[in-house]
Amino acid sequence: MRRVVILGSTGSIGTQALDVIRERRDRFEVVGLAAGRNRELLTAQATEFGVEHTALAADTGADADADADVGAATAEIEQLVRDIAADVVLNGITGSVGLGPTLAALEAGRTLALANKESLIVGGDLVTALAADGQIVPVDSEHSALAQALRAGTDAEVRRLVVTASGGPFRGRARAELVGVTPAQALAHPTWDMGRVITTNSATLVNKGLEVIEAHLLFGIPYDAIDVVVHPQSVVHSMVEFIDGSTIAQASPPDMRLPISLGLAWPDRVAGVGVPLDWTRNQSWTFEPLDDEAFPAVALAKQVGRAGGTYPAVFNAANEQAVEAFHDGALGFLGILDTIARVVDEHEPPSRLTRESLAEAERWARAAADAAIAAV
């Protein structure tokens, strides 16, 4: 029996995790829940699963996908993570506000099932220095796929990682064709049902850039050996190429319950959590090169990742501001990456990486992004 704490329980990752656990009470016990908002759903979850320990950032109504903003309750959530005797902490919070709970889970010796990629990307060396070998289990479908495929060989046998991308709603468009696209169009993802920020990040491919940084930090593979390929069917979730020329791919229908279940049970699998592919049916999978001119986010993210320090935090914070401005009608779609690039270029990193310097870098990046947006 694994005792589980779920952070971001009212959002997409959290509710799907509870779906997995609901049918497997003999394997998992929910001992803590935290959310950014939606008190009604959080209370219902706690009642259903018999959870005594909960934390809530703000009671702002019944938007079940809006649990991302937990900044006001970070300290309370961190304390909940430290105080509860749990085996696994699933961090399904969205955004860099998840850094504190990620650090708390690692410091407390919990296995961290990480869906909150921003906390690893922003925290960088602060997070990796705390993590014991195998303590972080990725929940992003791409990184879960890589973790599974990497079991086929030793570290020394890995040649490169290949991260797949659906291409988002604007796959195949040239840069000039992205002028004037609307927020509604950016949110029309062809495969995944996600929140506003993540879905927009998938449209700009910022999400894929963040995933490249995450893959480097999780698996220690150099950036030059991490590639992105467009795979619109979203069936092959990522691949590992080995030195003998063999490539191991993880394939499954697009369903986040599979990587979530692996995050909760790693290294074991959970029977019946997903529907397997039907190999008797005609189907085609295609792979396309990434258009770096139309979608420069991945190249910029690699540059930021190599620079390290506070640069990834600045990249992420500037993006969050630009995405909000885009949805508010204050910035065009192409302006999102232009704003990020400008803020990254202007950044002067501190001499030491600490939680305080990261927080200050984020504050600076948000202000610099706002100023850049206002000047457009």
CB atoms < 10 A from the CB of 49, how many? 19
| Cα 262 to Cα 274: distance, rounded to the nearest angstrom | 11
Final residue of a domain: which of 114, 139, 164? 139
| Cα 143 to Cα 250: distance, rounded to the nearest angstrom | 10
Same domain, 243 and 350: no
Average pLDDT over every residue of 133-149 = 97
Residue 198 or residue 52, greater confidence: 52
Number of domains within the chain: 3
Q: Let me know: does 323 contact 336? Beta carbons within 8 Å.
A: yes
What is the side-by-side strand order in the sheet with 2-7?
53-56, 28-35, 2-7, 88-91, 111-114, 136-138
Residue bearing tokens 């929940």: 139
Same domain, 218 and 160: yes
Same domain, 159 and 134: no
| 6 within a domain of the structure (yes/no) | yes
Same domain, 33 and 49: yes
pLDDT at 64 over 90: no
What pLDDT is recorded for position 38?
A: 87
Residue bearing tokens 């949110």: 187
Same domain, 298 and 176: yes
To the nearest whole number, what is the mean pLDDT of the chain? 93
Q: Let me know: does 298 contact 345? Beta carbons within 8 Å.
A: no
| 268 within a domain of the structure (yes/no) | no
Tokens of 125: 């060396």
| 275 within a domain of the structure (yes/no) | no
Among 3, 253, 275, 28, which residue's Cα sits nearest to residue 145?
253
What pLDDT is recorded for position 116?
A: 93
- Give the model confidence (pLDDT) of 159-206 as tens digits: 999 999 999 999 999 999 999 999 999 998 777 666 788 889 999 999
| Cα 56 to Cα 54: distance, rounded to the nearest angstrom | 7
Same domain, 77 and 213: no
**Amino acid at residue number 360:** E
| 124 within a domain of the structure (yes/no) | yes
pLDDT at 62 over 60: no
Average pLDDT over every residue of 215-220 = 97
Residue 62 or residue 100, greater confidence: 100
- Give the model confidence (pLDDT) of 229-286 as tens digits: 999 999 999 999 999 999 999 999 999 999 999 999 999 999 999 999 999 999 999 9
What CATH number did the domain enclosing 108 receive? Answer: 3.40.50.720
Same domain, 62 and 173: no
Tokens of 14: 């959290």
Same domain, 224 and 121: no
Same domain, 299 and 315: no
CB atoms < 10 A from the CB of 247, how many? 13
Same domain, 99 and 75: yes
- Give the model confidence (pLDDT) of 344-372 as tens digits: 999 999 999 999 999 999 999 999 999 99
pLDDT at 97 over 90: no
Same domain, 185 and 295: yes
When pLDDT is cut at 50, 70 and 90, the band that residue 73 belongs to is: very low
| Cα 67 to Cα 114: distance, rounded to the nearest angstrom | 16
Q: Which of 7-16, 34-43, 149-158, 332-341 has the lowest mean pLDDT?
A: 34-43
| Cα 372 to Cα 376: distance, rounded to the nearest angstrom | 7
Same domain, 101 and 200: no
- The whole domain housing 90 covers 2-139
Distances in Å between the alpha carbon of 130 and those of 126, 165, 273? 7, 30, 31
Between helix 333-346 and helix 297-307 the angle, nearest 10°, is 20
Pairing of strands 226-230, 288-289: antiparallel
When pLDDT is cut at 50, 70 and 90, the band that residue 66 belongs to is: very low
What pLDDT is recorded for position 65?
A: 39
| 280 within a domain of the structure (yes/no) | no
